[in-house]
Structure 1
Amino acid sequence: MSGSFCNKYRSESHRFPGWNYAGNGMYYLTLVTQDRDCNLGHIADAKMYLSDFGEIVNTEWLKSFDIREELILDEYQIMPNHIHAIVKISKRGNWPVDTHGRAYLQDIDGRAYLQRLPKSISSFIGGFKAGVNSKIDDFIDEKHLRIPKYNKNNHFFQHNYHDHVIRNREEYLKIKNYIIQNPKNWDKDEFNNPQDD
């Protein structure tokens, strides 16, 4: 079966053919929580209010841009169950890849994970998600919460994410406006789960 994973799940790439996702460019990114759980906060009066988990995600998101010199954060919005962002890769040199929190680049027995291109969108997202899992687990322990912790079998965010290469200024302005207006349009948002309100 073409495009399947283990002859079971359809896993076709949504990637722009031939594009170097480690090269300079501007990207529109969307990351969604597992099961679209609205655990990042809530919308009231067209404004987003972050939960404790949302605050952790926001801190880790901003930290990602402090530790990765090649990344520039343009616009972003954390919503109850997803994040929209415009991120620019602008490489001016050759820097080492950093990890987030307790994230590591090798498995415990020393085997390397499937390699991501250094300083690529996938490398950035992988590090960010690992950092979020780690910090939220620390919060769960600290507050003695009786909820499952997050690990490689129980992810805070969905395994995949959506990326779109922004090709021109018109597209950029349209996406930026969409992100800014997202809290006002939450009632019409495709990620809004009315049963979770």
Structure 2
Amino acid sequence: MADKYQNKYRIPTARHPHWDYGTNGAYFITICTENRQCFLGKCENGKMKLSTVGAIAQGFWYEIPKHFPFVELGEFVVMPNHIHGVLILNKNGFDENIIDSIDNIIDPVETRQCLVSTTEHVSTNNDDKTIGQKRFRNQGKNTVSSIIGSYKSICTKHIHATFPSMNFEWQTRFWDNIIRDDEAFNTISQYIINNPLNWEGDKFFGEEIKPE
């Protein structure tokens, strides 16, 4: 996996609220199901057995570069109640005005409701807002937030269409981590690969909350 990073996305030290999540770089993404419910499959003997819902989640993740051609996918795994994946944004040579977006085939209002995990309180004075705060309600096109919001929305629509009686939802927010160098990239990639093997020690193991 090191050849995917090769220090070409080295990130300067920056606090998350001041980071533009539309910037070239590698991002470690974690998305949980609502209430950590195990809709996505079962992990047995260190291997995932995907449910139909999990297969839908997996399939649409691999579709991301078709709609956002400046995105390259790193390692990815579907776990019983969450997914982990690496998105690599490289917009060099792309005209953002003509980049296709999966938003074209889903409800953009629903997409905007997915807020990045690093969002903070929004100032009433627009001039005082950080980059992250300005994206609180307007994520901008072709950012990590808009990509993940689109992904979550299209998955949910297809899952609800396939299982109308299933109360499937993603957790409202998601976790992101800016990958700053090759060492971090390789460590995170191995973590994702080994996640099924380490499921019982995972922080999300046994966290399922039964709806009342």
**Could you state the TM-score of these two structures normalised by the residue count of structure 2?**
0.73
In the TM superposition, 1:1-197 aligns within 5 A as 16-91=16-91, 92-94=93-95, 95-99=98-102, 102-106=105-109, 114-141=137-164, 146-148=165-167, 156-193=169-206
Consecutive unaligned residues in structure 2, runs of 5 or more:
1-14, 111-135
How many percent of aligned residue pairs carry the same amino acid? 30
Q: Is this contact kept in 2: 1:101–1:135, CA < 8 A? A: no
Asked if the contact 1:57/1:132 (under 8 Å) is kept, the reply is yes
CA contact (8 A) 2:40 2:79 kept: yes
Structure 2 CA distance, aligned partners of 1:195 and 1:75? 25
Higher relative contact order (CA 8 A, sep 6+): 2
- Structure 1 stretches of at least 4 aligned residues deviating more than 6 Å after TM superposition: none
The Cα offsets for residues 91-146 of structure 1, whole Å up to 9 and x where unpaired, read as 03123352358512258xxxxx94212110000011001101110111014xxxx3
Report the RMSD for the aligned CA atoms in angstroms: 2.2
Which residue in 2 is equivalent to 1:3? none
Q: How many residues align?
A: 167
Shift in alpha-carbon separation, 1:117–1:194, aligned structure 2, 3 A:
closer
User: Structure 1-normalised TM-score?
Assistant: 0.78
In 1, Cα distance between equivalents of 2:73 and 2:24: 13
